[in-house]
Each structure stands twice: as structure tokens, then as C-alpha cells.
Amino acid sequence: MEPLSPGGAAPVRVVLVDDEHLVRSGLRLLLGGESSIEVVGEAGDGVEAEQVIAATRPDVVLMDIRMPRRDGLETTRLELARRPDLAVLVLTTFDADDMVLGALRLGARGFLLKDTPPAELVAAVHAAARGRSTLSPSVLDRVIGAATASGSLAIVDDGVEEAAAATDEARSRLAQLTAREADVVRGVVRGRSNAQIGAELYVSVATVKTHLGHAYDKLGVDGRVQLALLARAAGLPEG
């Protein structure tokens, strides 16, 4: 019988892929301390990851970019071709534009830097398992800028592309937001974390999360990346 998380659901099954043993050990220690997460395997490069992922059938893979034999981008492409429902979270020290956009175009569920606070990493794992995307605040703005500059928002998925193409519809959806929900969305567009948004609005992080959840539902998006792209495409003022 599988162990259950406090909410009664089976833990999120995670595989760690990184060529540095010390990084994998740290991640295993961090995530293994969460009753709602189970680290089911780890690999030191993309070739080994193929075998581990096939054997363990994880829900989420934390994927490094630069590794020997087969890098993280190529491994992400191959694994998502085999199993499109797999959630891949890129976790790396590198945030070059081509790596960020390349990972998202391949279908990665998010892109996090290795200096991401532990609580945010845990939240990102859960968000990925639920089908929602996550980007470190430091790279979110450059993704939005690259998308809007190119005139195409098809960086994350078809849902964003379709919503952005119908600007009037996007604006109609944004009109459903309450004033406080719109304030939170503006914070997301500026690349702020939940804690930063809460500090700016003088509300708790829990309240920010509640407003974000309502915004996701009203706008029909699955995470911060889609939310920010849709808001920017519809011309939501940042101020």
C-alpha cells in the first residue's frame, strides 16, 4: 500500500537528474523530508535517466541542463515524446534565454534556478504534478519579453497561443478579475514571487495564492507563465 500525504493522496513521485552527486543528495534530503513527495530514483546523466524513468514511472522529473553523454534538453525531448503526461521541471544554474525558451518549447513544465528557496521548489513540484507551470521570478520577465517581442506567444503551449490570438476574448476574461486579483496578476507580470506580491499588497502569502487560484480559474490558464503571457498580450497595465 502506498504511503499517503496529509491530504490523503498518494505522494508525488519524483526522479532527480543531475550530474553532481552532491546536488542530488541535497535534493533528495530536501524533498524526502516532505510526506507529500517521494523520491523514487536518480540519475547522473540523460542516458541513465532514460533507464531510471522507464523503471520508476515518476510523476515529475527534476532535470539539469548540462550533463555528460546526453544533456537535459535532449533528454526532455525524448522523454516527453515517449510520455507526454510526464512533468519535467528544469533545475539548473544557467538561465540563458536559449535554454529557458528551448526547455519550454520542448514541453517542460517549468524552469527553476538552483538557488530557488526550498519552499518554492516543493511548491513547484506539486504544481507540476497538477499540470501547472512554474518559472523562477528572475527568468519569467525575459520569457514574457521574448514572447511579446517575437509577436508569438506559442512558447508555452497551444492554450496560450489561442488566447493571445483572440485579444478581445482575453480582455473580456481579464475584466472578470476583482481589483485585488488584478493587482496580484500585475505582480506576476512583473516577475514577483508570492512573498514579494504579498509584501507589496500588505496581504499574506496564503491570500496571494487564493487570488492567484481564482485568477487561474477565471482566465482558464494553468500557471504563472500562461497567466503572465495572457495578461501582457491583453495589455493589462502593470501599474
Higher pLDDT, 225 or 43: 43
Residue 220: phi and psi, rounded to 5, are 70, 40
pTM reported for the whole predicted model: 0.65
* C-alpha cell recorded at residue 217: 480559474
Quote the longest CA-to-CA distance of the chain: 52
- CA–CA dist 215, 83 (Å, integer): 29
Which residue type occupies 151?
G
The mean predicted confidence, pLDDT, of the chain is: 79
pLDDT (tens digit, 9 = 90+) per residue, 42-91? 999 999 999 999 999 999 999 998 898 889 889 999 999 999 889 999 88
- CA–CA dist 177, 140 (Å, integer): 22
Tell me whether strands 12-17 and 60-63 are parallel, antiparallel or unpaired: parallel
pLDDT (tens digit, 9 = 90+) per residue, 25-46? 999 998 988 888 999 999 999 9
pLDDT band of residue 233 (cuts 50, 70, 90) is low
- The percent of residues in the chain predicted with pLDDT above 70, rounded, is 77
Domains of the chain: 12-135 (3.40.50.2300), 151-233 (3.40.50.2300)
- CA–CA dist 178, 140 (Å, integer): 23
Total H helices, total E strands in the chain: 12, 6
